[in-house]
Structure 1
Amino acid sequence: MNRRMFMKASMAFATLSGMSGLSTLFARSAWADADIADGTAKQFDFDVLKKHAASLAKKPYGGAPAPLPATLANLTPQAYNEIAYDPGHSLWHNIDGRKMDVQFFHVGMGFKRRIRMFSVDPANREAREIHFRPELFNYNDAHVDAKQLEGKTDLGFAGFRAFKAPELGSRDIVSFLGASYFRAVDNTYQYGLSARGVAINTFSNGQEEFPDFTAFWFETPKAGDTTFTVYALLDGPSCTGAFRFIIHCEEKQVVMEIENNLYARKDIKQLGIAPMTTMFSCGTNDRRVCDTIHPQIHDSDRLEMWTGKGEWICRPLNNPQRLTYNSFEDENPKGFGMLQTDHNFDDYQDVIGWYNKRPSLWVEPIGKWGKGAIDMMEIPTTGETLDNIVCFWQPAEAIAAGSEHSFSYKLYWSSLPPVQSNLARVYATRTGMGGFPEGWAPGEHYPEVWARRFAVDFVGGDLKDAAPKGITPVIDVSSGTIKQVEILYVEPFNGYRILFDWYPNSPSTEAVNMRLYLRTGSQTLSETWLYQYIPPPPDQRKYIDDRQMHA
């Protein structure tokens, strides 16, 4: 974990919620030196977990976690980072020829939830708990008073991370840490955006909730396997859940098959399925806060959607000056995700964050999800240390107390999504001052009428073949007027740039929704570009000439 990702995880999710009710499923026994799973064996399968989650939802929520020993509660981020799991006690270290292994995160600092861990023998479906003990960790320079931890077998763990050969114990590829957050990498080994088990009331009149994964069960893989299965219990004020993750650690990507079963404790105003959070500070289309040495700063650059009707939609991300929320209605979506499409180092010049290596995350629904919407919230940010973009699927049906809901889907953590449209796709979006011919500038030869220019670049598809027949940009805006539309072939990226200027027709600062696609005759040539532009107030709609002319 680099500094930015650690701080984001530890500080943003410092307030976690309760765990309860597992003692009836699993008992404890004395320590076993040969295996870190020391609990008494009990039968376990996914049906057992689902029944337990359903039963737990009928009981009051357990509330905030119990206080940690002072030596852990008062850790600084730097001290917490010094705590390392002992690889000699990793979960599958005793499997000859193993390709996978798992280690656990220590509780402490902002990670207060005491998560229980279990090892499952897939042959006889027996599970045994892994209890905390100081010997599992190396405390290095963390200055932890280990005497305060002796006998604290109920401390549990904060989360886990998984490794794949040949990087066993050195570079993890999957991490579950904080509330229900988790991440994975592609073959760059560079973490980026995060996923969540569920999102609740992210943008509603109520306070957002962050349910916790409170227990995990790991099926022991066979030697040589690069796929492992983990089950998770979710618990929070408004719902419980039983999750199954089948995690395929492939050569160039990580693919997760997920089934969740959710049980509502109370009415939920907004339930987010397959939620993901990412960071967008500045990019080609939004350079307002890019006063740094870096041309761009973002984990993701766009929301991509493949609708139930087959339309491909690209929505570039913004760092707005005020919180914005958008809902894209759909029925039985084919896929959606937060993408990082620009992997050119020169476009970031960042040797700390390595944004050019960040993976994309694509959601592939399994089965029909029915009616709902892909919701996205964009939060203003002045830096890069916190995620400011949230996206998820919200079912149209009301989530009532006592109801049960199940969703299955795949998550692809990879450089680009596993599927792409055959149509031309959006390559980049750029914005700047407009109101004058391209190649000139506002001044004495042109009226200084304020306008905003947009350049949308398209590549691929049948654009080259369609060019002789004529390419027509179809542009719609929710307010204002479009002028100066141009179509330019751009040889360096072998694509076409659509230029247009937007002129306001009112002093309103309400968001302007823009829509653009390309066609030739009645044939659609490109995916649909959606954009949301927030115009400045009237007193800021002017050109500033800061030249100092002297005789």
Structure 2
Amino acid sequence: MDRRTLLKSSIALAAWYGLPSAPLFAAARAASDIADGESEAFSFDWLQQFAKDLAAKAYQSNVEQLPPTLANLTPQQYNDIGYDPEHSLWKEMNGPLDIQFFHVGMAFNQPVRMYSIAPGSQQAKEIHFRPDLFDYSKADVDVSQLEGQGDLGFAGFRVFKEPSLTERDIVSFLGASYFRAVDDTYQYGLSARGVTVNTYSDGKTEEFPAFTRFWFETPEKGATTFTAYALLDSPSLAGAYRFIIHCEDERVVMEIDKHLYPRESIAQLGITPMTSMFSCGTQQRDMCLTFHPQIHDSDRLSMWLGNGEWVCRPLNNPPRVQFNTFGDDNPKGFGLLQTDHDFSHYEDIVGNYHKRPSLWVEPKGQWGKGEIQMLEIPTTGETMDNVVAFWKPEQPIEPGQELNYGYKLYWSAQPPVTPELARVRKTFTGIGGFPEGWAPGEHYPEVWAKRIAVDFIGGELKHFYDNDIDIKTQLDVPEGDVKQLDILWVEEIEGFRIQFDWYPTSDSTDPINMRLNLTADSKTVSETWLFQYFPTPPEEREYPKHPAAV
């Protein structure tokens, strides 16, 4: 299964969009302990050893052939399979958290085994699939085909929190090693993954490692934090994961410890991968083919580098596949952010892009040297995730190693840390070559140019402006000519707009990496803006004709 197939299957599900989950039953069934397997010893140390031993063996796929009634489901039919809330994992605790499970079906044909850990013990029991856990009354499923199939397992799980214990889930694990969480808007957005393998590597096919087993610690009564463990497996590696998941009022925070055991050499290993969608925004308004002014789950890659520098890299919907790397040593944090939460900037009542959360990675310990890598893929719509970002360690990945990483994931409207410096508000692009407020015509030569504007807000900018302290720009544009650079104070945002015109000096359409920051009193006072601009093809470098000239 490739990325686009997987995401196309999952993105249509209401659970991922944060819409109401499966319908409730008209009559509740008698509650029962769904963990009906034999009691087995479990600990995180045991799981690490199990994953290590597994990696020493040849990979064996557990993908199963589903009966036609499940394999041929449409996304809507799949979503119509309900789960009986009376059989939720922690139903009898009457607490603020509960867990329900996803049915196998469609492309979700790799069974995931689920286990419940008894309170205060190191004993776990398996939760076996059985049809009576689910409601098929609204789904086009021939239940007779499930008879004699044995334990089909589950496709994943989702977590509910009061006050929406059966209406809106806040955490969801579904498909390969993909998972999502929400903030207080209950709106899903971008995804995280357990790990990536060869996402963009010459001569290598991308591999999708999968979580194949989960263990859930029963939380203390009244707790809004729980712990889950996961086994990851793929042809290239195995892994043991511990998720401590804090379901807070305004955000979800995940503390993750993972131990990876390569089976073979891996050219490109992605740590803390996140997958998002950028179709169009203020810097690429020409890509908005619908009436919506903007369409994106995230608008930028933000990086807090090991040397303390803050970097803002606006996302693109590129004309062709683009792969970028940002070298670093012991990064302090990075993430794909959705910084614009104004409904009027999207005018979207289905996707609710103004509600979508950001995702921030906070490394634990010293990660050493490596690169933050990002892949951007062209897309013509909003149903395909086309941005992938992750950390790639510098060290070669060879079989027999053990790689340990700890980090936190913050699912929230804004990241938990922001620079004290001025930060990038937005990036804009449009036609240039003439003063602001005019248009190309008889008073100005029709020499084609692109105007680029960057808004900086926050930090000490208001202080500098009020005290007539000069703001200067450090702008690096390696190709073409830059003219008409203006530094403009914008009262409405209490910040500076830096705008300039870029004139091509060749017919090349190769991307140009632009870099900009602000200085005052001989010191840097803003984060660094990195922008990858794609020059307009030569045949399109002309202005619309003025009516007087026609």
TM-score, with length taken from structure 1: 0.93
Aligned residue identity for 1:493: I
Aligned residue identity for 1:209: E
Partner SS state of residue 91, structure 1: coil
Q: CA deviation at 1:443?
A: 1.5
Instruction: Indicate the residue corresponding to 2:278 in structure 1.
Output: 280
Q: CA deviation at 1:11?
A: 7.4
Q: CA deviation at 1:402?
A: 2.0
Q: CA deviation at 1:312?
A: 0.5
Q: CA deviation at 1:76?
A: 1.5
Q: Is the 8 A contact 1:132 1:152 kept in 2?
A: no
Instruction: Indicate the residue corresponding to 2:471 in structure 1.
Output: 471
Instruction: Indicate the residue corresponding to 1:83 in structure 2.
Output: 81
Instruction: Indicate the residue corresponding to 2:531 in structure 1.
Output: 531
Q: Is the 8 A contact 1:100 1:168 kept in 2?
A: yes
| Residues 306-329 of structure 1, C-alpha deviations (whole Å, 9 max, x = no match) | 000000110111101111010000
Q: CA deviation at 1:547?
A: 3.4
Aligned residue identity for 1:505: T
- For 1:176 and 1:435, the matched residues in 2 are separated by 50
- For 1:39 and 1:156, the matched residues in 2 are separated by 13
Q: CA deviation at 1:199?
A: 0.8
2:151 to 154, 179, 189: 154
Instruction: Indicate the residue corresponding to 2:542 in structure 1.
Output: 542
Partner SS state of residue 48, structure 1: helix
Which runs of no fewer than 5 residues in structure 2 stay unpaired?
14-29
- For 2:159 and 2:524, the matched residues in 1 are separated by 44
Runs of 4+ in 1 over 3 A off after TM superposition: 4-9, 546-550
Q: CA deviation at 1:488?
A: 0.8
The answer to whether residue 167 in structure 2 is matched with residue 170 in structure 1 is yes
| Residues 201-239 of structure 1, C-alpha deviations (whole Å, 9 max, x = no match) | 001120111011000000001110000000000011111
Q: Is the 8 A contact 2:12 2:76 kept in 1?
A: no
The answer to whether residue 351 in structure 2 is matched with residue 353 in structure 1 is yes
| Residues 368-420 of structure 1, C-alpha deviations (whole Å, 9 max, x = no match) | 10000100011100000010000000001110122210100000000000001
Instruction: Indicate the residue corresponding to 1:23 in structure 2.
Output: none
- For 1:106 and 1:188, the matched residues in 2 are separated by 26
- For 1:186 and 1:11, the matched residues in 2 are separated by 18
User: Map of 1:303-322 to 2, 5 A cutoff?
Assistant: 303-322=301-320
Alpha-carbon RMSD across the aligned residues, in angstroms, is 1.8
Q: CA deviation at 1:507?
A: 1.8
- For 1:130 and 1:374, the matched residues in 2 are separated by 38
2:136 to 135, 139, 146: 139
The answer to whether residue 186 in structure 2 is matched with residue 180 in structure 1 is no
Instruction: Indicate the residue corresponding to 2:325 in structure 1.
Output: 327
Instruction: Indicate the residue corresponding to 1:19 in structure 2.
Output: none
Instruction: Indicate the residue corresponding to 1:20 in structure 2.
Output: none
- For 2:369 and 2:11, the matched residues in 1 are separated by 35
- For 2:195 and 2:34, the matched residues in 1 are separated by 30
The answer to whether residue 90 in structure 2 is matched with residue 92 in structure 1 is yes
- For 1:73 and 1:252, the matched residues in 2 are separated by 38
Q: Is the 8 A contact 2:9 2:106 kept in 1?
A: no
Partner SS state of residue 233, structure 1: strand
Aligned residue identity for 1:106: H
Partner SS state of residue 492, structure 2: helix
- For 2:9 and 2:67, the matched residues in 1 are separated by 21
- For 1:537 and 1:286, the matched residues in 2 are separated by 15
Which runs of no fewer than 5 residues in structure 1 stay unpaired?
14-31
Q: CA deviation at 1:288?
A: 2.3
Pick closer, same or farther for the CA change 1:109–1:546 going to 2, 3 Å.
farther
User: Map of 1:4-153 to 2, 5 A cutoff?
Assistant: 8-10=8-10, 34-63=32-61, 65-96=63-94, 98-153=95-150
Pick closer, same or farther for the CA change 1:40–1:527 going to 2, 3 Å.
same
- For 2:460 and 2:10, the matched residues in 1 are separated by 47
Q: CA deviation at 1:44?
A: 0.1
Aligned residue identity for 1:80: Y
Q: Is the 8 A contact 1:316 1:530 kept in 2?
A: yes
Q: CA deviation at 1:66?
A: 1.9
Q: Is the 8 A contact 2:488 2:498 kept in 1?
A: yes
| Residues 18-70 of structure 1, C-alpha deviations (whole Å, 9 max, x = no match) | xxxxxxxxxxxxxx983100110011010111111111111111136120112
Q: Is the 8 A contact 1:376 1:389 kept in 2?
A: yes
Task: Give the total of aligned pairs.
Answer: 528
- For 1:484 and 1:548, the matched residues in 2 are separated by 26
Q: CA deviation at 1:5?
A: 13
TM-score, with length taken from structure 2: 0.93
Pick closer, same or farther for the CA change 1:361–1:120 going to 2, 3 Å.
same
- For 1:307 and 1:436, the matched residues in 2 are separated by 38
Q: Is the 8 A contact 1:106 1:159 kept in 2?
A: yes
Q: CA deviation at 1:147?
A: 2.0
Pick closer, same or farther for the CA change 1:538–1:6 going to 2, 3 Å.
closer
Q: CA deviation at 1:287?
A: 1.4
- For 2:537 and 2:330, the matched residues in 1 are separated by 39
Instruction: Indicate the residue corresponding to 1:191 in structure 2.
Output: 188
The answer to whether residue 410 in structure 2 is matched with residue 442 in structure 1 is no
Partner SS state of residue 106, structure 2: coil
Partner SS state of residue 94, structure 1: helix
- For 1:220 and 1:547, the matched residues in 2 are separated by 72
The answer to whether residue 205 in structure 2 is matched with residue 203 in structure 1 is no
Q: CA deviation at 1:243?
A: 0.5
Q: CA deviation at 1:493?
A: 1.4
- For 1:386 and 1:48, the matched residues in 2 are separated by 38
Aligned residue identity for 2:418: Q
| Residues 81-102 of structure 1, C-alpha deviations (whole Å, 9 max, x = no match) | 1101100100001114x11000
- For 1:9 and 1:172, the matched residues in 2 are separated by 19
1:457 to 441, 455, 458: 455
Partner SS state of residue 107, structure 2: coil
| Residues 407-457 of structure 1, C-alpha deviations (whole Å, 9 max, x = no match) | 000000000000011111101100011111111111121112121111000
Partner SS state of residue 286, structure 1: helix
Q: Is the 8 A contact 1:12 1:386 kept in 2?
A: no
- For 1:458 and 1:215, the matched residues in 2 are separated by 46
- For 2:134 and 2:116, the matched residues in 1 are separated by 18
Q: Is the 8 A contact 1:9 1:178 kept in 2?
A: no
Q: Is the 8 A contact 1:133 1:151 kept in 2?
A: no
Pick closer, same or farther for the CA change 1:217–1:153 going to 2, 3 Å.
farther
Instruction: Indicate the residue corresponding to 1:512 in structure 2.
Output: 512
- For 1:431 and 1:388, the matched residues in 2 are separated by 21
| Residues 284-318 of structure 1, C-alpha deviations (whole Å, 9 max, x = no match) | 11112213121100000001000000001101111
Partner SS state of residue 356, structure 1: helix
The percent identity for this pair of structures is 62
Instruction: Indicate the residue corresponding to 2:215 in structure 1.
Output: 217
User: Map of 1:394-405 to 2, 5 A cutoff?
Assistant: 394-405=392-403
